[in-house]
Amino acid sequence: MALSKIHLIGLSALTGILLALGWPAIGDLSPILFFALVPLLFVEHELSNSPRSFFAYPLFAFATFNLCTTWWVYCVTEGFTTKIFVLLAAIAVNSLMMTIVFTLFRYAKKHLGNRRGYIALITFWMAFEYFHLNWELTWPWLALGNGFANQVTWIQWYEYTGVFGGTLWILIANMLVFQILKRSLFEGADFGKNKATLVIVALVLIVPIVISKIMYQNYEEVSHPIEIAIIQPNVDPYNEKYATSGTEQLDEMIRLLDKNLKTDPAYIVAPETALSGDIQEHNINHSPTIEIVRTFLNRHPKTEFVSGMSSWRLLRKDALTSTARKFPQSDAYYDMYNAAIQVGAADQPQVYHKSKLVQGVEKMPFASILKPLEDFALDLGGTIGSLGSQDESSVFQSAFSDFKVAPVICYESIYGEYVASYVKKGAELIFIMTNDGWWDDSPGYKQHLAYARLRAIENRRSIARSANTGISCFINQRGDILNATEWWQEAVIQGTLNANHELTVYTKAGNYLARLASFIAAGLLIFAFVNSRRANAFSNL
């Protein structure tokens, strides 16, 4: 069965379209993910013994996938040049890396044989996703395991495997479906005679879902209720955010709280950069913004206020950071932060500096090389350019007990192992503070919400999610969304979440599947290289 060039292009595009249709907030047709890679595998099979170049086909497939799922990056209201730069950079880097995976797979298959080659594809892909969590251009938004974010009844076992369990599931299913169709279409085998393989495929698809549904039905949260209020101030990030002062915006939030609070909650959670203005961390107790919060809390003495904040801090000359900024006409230096703060009526505020900064927005990757491009950095949280950060997560402890919560800021919520690090440090609840209004009414904020559900399952922690716009909600330990607001709605929601102190396998072990896959991938790549050199040596005899 020979395929023409137009067929190969069509199959490549089909893989990109199928992946997008299976993705949250795009098509949400999750079962498609189990065979979305099959058309591209047929392209590779067709060209496996051909001198024709293969590279362009997976590049086209994955560029289609990336464009269809993350086109909303373009919705940010910035200059045309900046919008195009950020959109193309995200699509180009991610598509190129996915293409490299398939190119290495093709190389491994050639020198290791078909069976080891397909095993190599699985391990190469998982190694790529793991690498993409931990380098300068990190962008794990499209990790395959994220595709099941809205199918929480299918993936309760993520508490053991994390998202990489879902990635492995999708890759194995695609390999098996491809093998069945290849034997039928290319090798002339009777489809009905592939009974053993069909049974295996059915088991691979059905058994994890059955196990998950049983887990879902039988999971019971230990009763440890904590009352929480979430505020969604719905400040327009392009107009109101900078047209009014930080204290004016805070006064409006307090008006909303005074109007809507039914009882005094243990915590009030406000969104990313809800507190802004001239907040000096080195003199934080005298900040007008913090004084307003304390005045409010004097009327609610048992309540603690957790909020995102835009702040800055003076730096000593002997402790300058790589992100330090110099005051004009002064020898003083300072750092800007996208931060979170916990304020009580009387206790010293606790501050956390966002660690997982958005590349090209809050942090210029490869800063020494790309410093001239910093003008392209978007203003997506109250600050511009490369921000200061801290090296690892930290938790907020209650002033009234040893109870701890995880302050997770926006983009950090898509990093499973990073969120687990808060839980390992004692966090019994997760607070996600975000500002999703930058992307307008697009799939972006819906995907971001869906990924938060994964963190709830992985760690069995309830989540309070406060969004400036976007969607604010509660998420229980099974990943169910509770009491959600509408997009672009001013609201205060109040409810009770159960805290949990037990640690899941994933919380303890993190991305162990990815680390194991990376080790195997390295071994297979070395083995393929050695075989390649041997083959070349024999051919020269």
pLDDT tens by residue, 63-75: 999 999 999 987 7
For 387-403, give one letter per residue: b (16+ CB within 10 A) or e.
Answer: bbbeeebbbbbbbeeeb
Q: What does the pLDDT read at residue 376?
A: 55
pLDDT over 80 at 361, yes or no: no
The pTM score is: 0.94
Q: Quick check: 81 pLDDT over 90?
A: no
pLDDT per position as a tens digit, 464-485: 999 998 899 999 999 999 999 9
Confidence bin at 1 (pLDDT 50/70/90): low
In this structure, are residues 276 and 246 in contact, taking their beta carbons and an 8 Å threshold? yes
Per-residue confidence (pLDDT) for residue 51, from 0 to 100: 67
| Phi and psi torsions of 310, nearest 5° | -105, 120
Output the average pLDDT for the chain.
92
pLDDT reported for residue 392: 97
* pLDDT per residue as tens digits for the range 166-200: 999 999 999 999 999 998 877 766 666 678 888 99
pLDDT of residue 347: 78
Tell me which DSSP letter residue 203 carries. H
Q: What is the pLDDT of residue 343?
A: 98
Q: Which residue has the higher pLDDT, 494 or 377?
A: 494
pLDDT of 492 reads: 98
What pLDDT, in 10s, does the model give residues 12-53?
999 999 999 999 999 999 999 999 999 999 999 999 887 678
Q: What is the pLDDT, as a whole number, of residue 41?
A: 98
Angle at 34 between CA 33 and CA 38, to 5 degrees: 95
- Summarised one tens digit per residue, pLDDT across range 264-298 is 999 999 999 999 988 999 999 999 999 999 999 99
Closest alpha carbon to 337 in 376, 360, 308: 308
Tell me, what's the pLDDT at 383? 45
Share of the chain above pLDDT 70, in %: 92
pLDDT at residue number 184: 82
b/e burial code for range 275-291 (CB count within 10 A of at least 16 → b): bbbebebeebeebebbe
Give the integer Cα–Cα distance in Å for 387 and 378. 12
**Whole-angstrom distance, CA of residue 207 vs CA of residue 45:** 29
> Is 507's pLDDT higher than 90?
yes
Radius of gyration over every alpha carbon of the chain, rounded to an integer in angstroms = 25
**Dihedrals φ, ψ of 474, to 5°?**
-105, 145
Measured distance CA(442)–CA(75) in Å, rounded: 8
List, for residues 392-413, the tens digit of each pLDDT value: 999 999 999 999 999 999 999 9
Q: What is the pLDDT of residue 78?
A: 61
| pLDDT at residue 346 greater than cutoff 70 | yes
Question: What pLDDT score does 366 carry?
Answer: 72
| Nearest to 351, CA basis, from 289, 291, 397 | 397
Count of C-beta atoms within a 10 Å radius of residue 196:
8
Question: Which pLDDT does position 80 carry in this prediction?
Answer: 66
pLDDT of 82-97, one tens digit each? Answer: 667 777 878 999 999 9
